[in-house]
Chains A and B, each alone.
Chain A
């Protein structure tokens, strides 16, 4: 079994907070399937099969006596004592969790004892639930999902439109081709809403897409800032590295440092920056190895004669 990938010293603070905030009672299954001490192992096997579970606590009322796992049943079948009572073969030295322990205990118990499940007792030593690694995973995913939704609401604000000015920021990630194109699609939509002529929208969209793709393909990831007013649309792409060795070459059509893989996706033909410059009315690029790249493209939104 691989160690659990939660490092309790260096994990993000949200994850740490989560595994301390959640209590065992928040993740445990409370719908318990139990057996009595006199029930046969064959009966317990039937319970497991019918409920698709791999462990059954043996109880006397709410008092936990022991635990039977699939392993115990297999052994019983093999050695021929499957009709004997649960009490005789159940594990008695049980590691249990308490319902008000933080989830971090559950995670470290899973890691430390390598059992598939832990019975959960309350303060009064009554059996109140059972926790499997599946329960923990489900609870964590739900919480992380909630948190991500909250973050997304926070991070993706509505366009700030003040005094006819629109401003949006987007981030790109290295090799994230699935999300690449989001910024340019959004920019295109905003300009259309603004009532800009299709041919001009297209020029801004092309510049934005090329700059976005450049960040995805070549940089460690970066940021695209879009601003527009009645006069002009500006796309500024800034990334923190690795930077371009030779900017003059990079601006030359056909020059590319892209890998075969990037080329197989239809990029890296050495047309990105030249394309962006061609569609722009103003274009500038600054780059230095180690400090990153900043590209600015401006397209005038009014036809100038």
Chain B
């Protein structure tokens, strides 16, 4: 699956659409940025309510191509700007993290081989 297919699948709005339409192989759900850095795999989608530009910084460092902000949490402009600068796709959905993760998991399945460090 590619990033471009996420909006429809996750019932989300794409609020930053300048991104490279990369392959998505996994997802990670967390609001703790250190946890994301420690455990998220590359080519993941990050599912979170942590709508802050630091989330973009962490996604950039860990090669996460797309962030989904759940519960329609407000997304600050500087987060959108940062995401645009880094070419990271930004989505927002009214669904919560549980439902969003479940839908994505159904679509992708579990990735067992550890691509991350």
Contacts and interface: CB of A to CB of B under 8 A. Distances in A.
Contact of A185 (B34, B60, B62): B60
Contact of B38 (A178, A181, A188, A275): A275
Interface stretch (B1-9, B46-54, B66-74, B96-104): B46-54
B54 A180 contact: yes
Interface in B58-96: 58, 60-63, 78
B12 interface: no
B104 to A, nearest CB: 20
Contact of A265 (B54, B60, B61): B54
A266 B37 CA distance: 11
Contacts of A226: none
A267 interface: yes
B15 interface: no
Contact of B61 (A185, A199, A266, A278): A185
Interface SS majority for chain A: helix
Given A184-B61, A206-B62, A209-B61, A177 B34 contact: no
B32 interface: yes
A260 to B, nearest CB: 14
A272 B37 CA distance: 10
Given A185-B61, A198-B42, A177 B54 contact: yes
Which size class do A's interface residues fall under? 20 to 34
Contacts of A199: 117
A141 interface: no
B34 A181 contact: no
A177 B50 CA distance: 14
B14 interface: no
B34 A271 contact: yes
A272 B60 contact: no
B57 A185 contact: yes
A266 B79 CA distance: 14
A270 to B, nearest CB: 8
Nearest to A209: B61
A202 interface: yes
A198 B61 contact: no
B42 A266 contact: no
Given A206-B61, A206-B62, A271-B32, A266 B117 contact: no
A178 B81 CA distance: 12
A99 interface: no
Given A266-B31, A275-B37, A181 B57 contact: yes
A266 B57 contact: no
Given A178-B53, A269-B32, A209 B38 contact: no
A210 interface: yes
A217 B61 CA distance: 19
A44 interface: no
A25 interface: no
6 contacts: A178-B78, A209-B61, A271-B35, A272-B34, A275-B37, A279-B117
Given A180-B57, A267-B33, A272-B34, 20 more contacts: A177-B54, A178-B53, A180-B54, A184-B57, A184-B61, A185-B60, A198-B42, A199-B117, A205-B61, A205-B62, A206-B38, A206-B117, A209-B37, A265-B52, A266-B32, A266-B50, A266-B55, A269-B32, A269-B34, A275-B38
